[in-house]
Chain A
Amino acid sequence: MKLVILITGSPYSSQAPYSALQYCKAAIAAGHEIYRVFLYQDGIQLSNRLATPPQDEINIFNEWTDFIEANSIDAVTCIAAAARRGVIDQNEAERHNKDSYNIHSAFELSGLGQLVEANIQADRLITFGA
């Protein structure tokens, strides 16, 4: 089955990104395809490359970016939800005259159309919320 994964819960404040990762690993192991992972609402925080949890804790940010890179997953962060919350890429930083940007390169900043398109292509959309 082709799956689209929607994460709306924030890392640490919610279990959503961790549950979603476990789900994606199990789905791939069972022969399913992750068509796209889409971060929306507080879920966008997962794409912040500056997050640095203490070393004796699970680093959900690294776990996710390693998984995305190892499996060539298409991972998209909602641009409107992210910009509101201070996660931007280099283009947005230049456009809004900010001195820095902080999105991880495993994620692409794009619009809600990417979620709608993924939902059209996929067999199932699974939401992981707060």
Chain B
Amino acid sequence: MTNTKSILIYLTKAPMANSANQEAVDLALAAASFEQEVSLLFEGDASFQLIPNQTPESVGRKNLPKAFKAFPIYGIQDLYLLGNTEESLKAKIHAEHKNIIEVANNELNSLFEKFDTVIRF
């Protein structure tokens, strides 16, 4: 048995609506610090948090986009963006996150198959 598993954290909720994204990122960082291979997938409204220059503090929330910057230090592997995101939003996201990987809707199952565990938030 291996002590390292690949985990896909699958984000589906809008950034400021509840604490789902914050607690998902807490789990991603905790898993990465236990040497797990962690990647994140952003779907639909969750992709809004990838846009630059946000001020979540103004609505009483932690600045998660800042935490995203720490991902490489934690060894978090890949960021995936589900391809049905609106084009203008996608362009902004690609400008901010150069290495984000776009996944088409019909590639979702094969993406899931690459991981030992998928946890949806």
A residues sitting closer than 8 Å to B (CB atoms) are: 6, 8, 40-41, 80-81, 84, 111-113, 115-117, 119-121, 125, 127, 129
Contact = CB atoms under 8 A, between A and B. Distances in A.
Given A116-B34, A119-B5, A40 B120 contact: no
Interface string B22-34: 0100110011001
Given A125-B117, A127-B119, A112 B30 contact: yes
B31 A40 contact: no
B85 interface: no
A6 B119 contact: yes
Determine the interface band of chain B, counting residues with CB < 8 A from chain A: 20 to 34
A112 B19 CA distance: 16
Contact of B120 (A81, A119, A129): A129
Given A111-B30, A112-B27, A120 B3 contact: yes
B23 A125 contact: no
B34 A117 contact: yes
Contacts of A127: 119-120
28 contacts: A8-B121, A40-B27, A41-B23, A41-B121, A80-B26, A84-B19, A111-B30, A112-B27, A112-B30, A112-B31, A113-B30, A113-B34, A115-B27, A116-B30, A116-B31, A116-B36, A117-B34, A119-B5, A119-B36, A119-B116, A119-B117, A120-B2, A120-B3, A120-B5, A120-B34, A120-B36, A121-B1, A125-B117
A120 B92 CA distance: 36
Contact of A41 (B3, B20, B34): B20
Q: Which of B3, B20, B23, B36 has its CB near the most chain A CB atoms (within 10 A)?
A: B23
